[in-house]
Structure 1
Amino acid sequence: MLQHLTALAESTGDDLLSLIGQSFDITAQLESLSLPRILLALLTATLCGAIIYLVYRMFYRGVVYSDNFNILVLLITVVTAFIIMTISANLVLSLGMVGALSIVRFRSAIKDPLDVGFLFWGVGAGITAGAGLYFVAIIGTVFVAALYIILTMVKKERRCYLLVVRYGTDAESNVNALLGTLKYKLKNKTQINDRIELTIEIKTANNDTTQLSRFKAIDGVDSVTLLEYNGEYMN
């Protein structure tokens, strides 16, 4: 019995040492990454990144479209793919790469929460492509693209604006009467001598700008300005 346990322990130890040796044998494991597999993974990641790029460009509904950010999403998809291929090829390389990537810091502020979703979308497509799940990467990318397009098309288009009205004190009663017909939030009201500047937040559908003409038609109103507003910055 003791001899059997000793033999089993020696066998297990030999297997463990063999496994550790294989983990450090970088050359042998990297040979498993054949050229066709590398090209197929990169082409799949590029295809998925191109789909994400087109969806972001054609159906973006934010305040400011950034082509640089869109290109970044495409590059992240491809870069993530070959990172995952490297990690899957060797344990030692994966530990070193995780340590190297942990020191990377990104300080660019992301204005629109949807941009974060596109970044995760690109990373997810790159991970699945790099892991060799090419069919999953393509189907998943197409499914998310279709879902985003449908949600964008069915969403009621109501945008938030800041309406800035400058007028004299003699027109205040008429301005207040018109404000009584609107749903708005008061942001700022400044009066210098007999001139008043009023800033309100309103929501309109389908880029409706009729409020401009309604305020402009009031006698005593000097100017009316409409600014698109998303709570952080104006356009």
Structure 2
Amino acid sequence: MKETLYEYLVTRSGEVNLFEAFEILIIALLLSMVVFWTYKFTFSGVLYNRKFNVSLVMLTLVTTMVMIVIKSDISLSLGMVGALSIVRFRTAIKDPRDTAYIFWCIGIGLCAGTQNYAIALMGSIFLATVLILFSFGKFGVENRYLLIIRGENRCEQEVMSYLFKQFKGAQLRGKNTTTQSIEMVYQITLKNEAQQTMLDQFYRIEGVQSVNIVAQNGETIG
């Protein structure tokens, strides 16, 4: 029994066919491009980071390479698990969606490296479709904003009158005042085409000094 186990774990090593490995890497690259274009197409932040998107493709290929090496050698796979367990990543992920894309790439690498192409392809198409629907479809519309108005105290009544006339569902979230100035924070529902018109109208009110519109994700858009 001991001899059999030793032979299975130590002396038995899987030979990697170079042409087969190249085929696996090409398929992994094609699948990673689905991630690349999905990330680029659904990105809604302030600054698109192309380097991070390229790193997603690299992550897929690296994971695929590791799986090619260890898929047929149990002893090597056990050693690889121990080696990778000491790796610590300190890079801060600002957007939670970026973490999901990283796991997506790792999943593609695992599937492609073990030649489960159907699962990798089906999963990638399904995830890409869901992300596109949630980003640009009915479920992806985020039209609630925080409206921050700063100005002199005398403009408060006129600002509130116009605000509640245009946005009946506006909700007061905060108000800061001094002897001469006031800052009002409201939550509103805003259509993109009405944004510029609304800003111009606020600036016509005497005493208004600044108007900021902040999206739900914390990005200032106006």
Judging changes above 3 Å, is the alpha-carbon distance between structure 1 residues 58 and 103 closer, same or farther for their aligned structure 2 residues?
same
Q: Hey, what's the Cα distance between the residues in 2 that align with 1:45 and 1:113? A: 24
Match of 1:6 in 2: none
Residue 214 of structure 1 deviates from its aligned partner by 3.0
Match of 2:105 in 1: 122
Query: Aligned runs of 1:8-157 on 2, under 5 Å?
Result: 13=1, 16-25=2-11, 29-31=13-15, 33-155=16-138, 156-157=140-141
Match of 2:200 among 213, 220, 224: 213
Q: Hey, what's the Cα distance between the residues in 1 that align with 2:94 and 2:193? A: 21
Q: Hey, what's the Cα distance between the residues in 1 that align with 2:184 and 2:7? A: 74
Could you say what the CA RMSD is over the residues aligned between the two structures, in angstroms? 2.5
Residue deviations 1:99-120 (CA, integer Å, cap 9, x gap):
1211222233323332222122
Residue 207 of structure 1 deviates from its aligned partner by 6.1
Q: Hey, what's the Cα distance between the residues in 2 that align with 1:99 and 1:214? A: 63
Residue 64 of structure 1 deviates from its aligned partner by 4.1
- TM-score after normalising by structure 1: 0.79
Q: Hey, what's the Cα distance between the residues in 2 that align with 1:143 and 1:151? A: 12
Give unpaired runs (5+ residues) of structure 1. 1-12
Q: Hey, what's the Cα distance between the residues in 1 that align with 2:160 and 2:146? A: 17
Aligned pair count?
217
Judging changes above 3 Å, is the alpha-carbon distance between structure 1 residues 128 and 149 closer, same or farther for their aligned structure 2 residues?
same
Give unpaired runs (5+ residues) of structure 2. none
Which deviates further from its counterpart, 41-50 or 154-163?
154-163
Residue deviations 1:170-218 (CA, integer Å, cap 9, x gap):
1111122234343345444332331222233434233641331232222
**3-state SS, counterpart of residue 150 of structure 2:** strand
Q: Report if the CA contact (8 A) 1:157-1:205 is conserved.
A: no
Q: Report if the CA contact (8 A) 2:146-2:213 is conserved.
A: yes
Judging changes above 3 Å, is the alpha-carbon distance between structure 1 residues 108 and 234 closer, same or farther for their aligned structure 2 residues?
farther
**3-state SS, counterpart of residue 71 of structure 2:** helix
Q: Hey, what's the Cα distance between the residues in 2 that align with 1:88 and 1:228? A: 46
Residue 97 of structure 1 deviates from its aligned partner by 1.3
Q: Report if the CA contact (8 A) 1:63-1:230 is conserved.
A: no
Could you tell me the percent identity over the aligned residues? 34
Judging changes above 3 Å, is the alpha-carbon distance between structure 1 residues 207 and 130 closer, same or farther for their aligned structure 2 residues?
farther
Residue 234 of structure 1 deviates from its aligned partner by 4.9
Q: Report if the CA contact (8 A) 1:77-1:122 is conserved.
A: yes
- TM-score after normalising by structure 2: 0.83
Query: Aligned runs of 1:119-198 on 2, under 5 Å?
Result: 119-155=102-138, 156-181=140-165, 182=167, 183-198=169-184
Q: Hey, what's the Cα distance between the residues in 2 that align with 1:98 and 1:213? A: 60
Match of 1:204 among 190, 197, 221: 190
| Larger gyration radius, structure 1 or structure 2 | 1
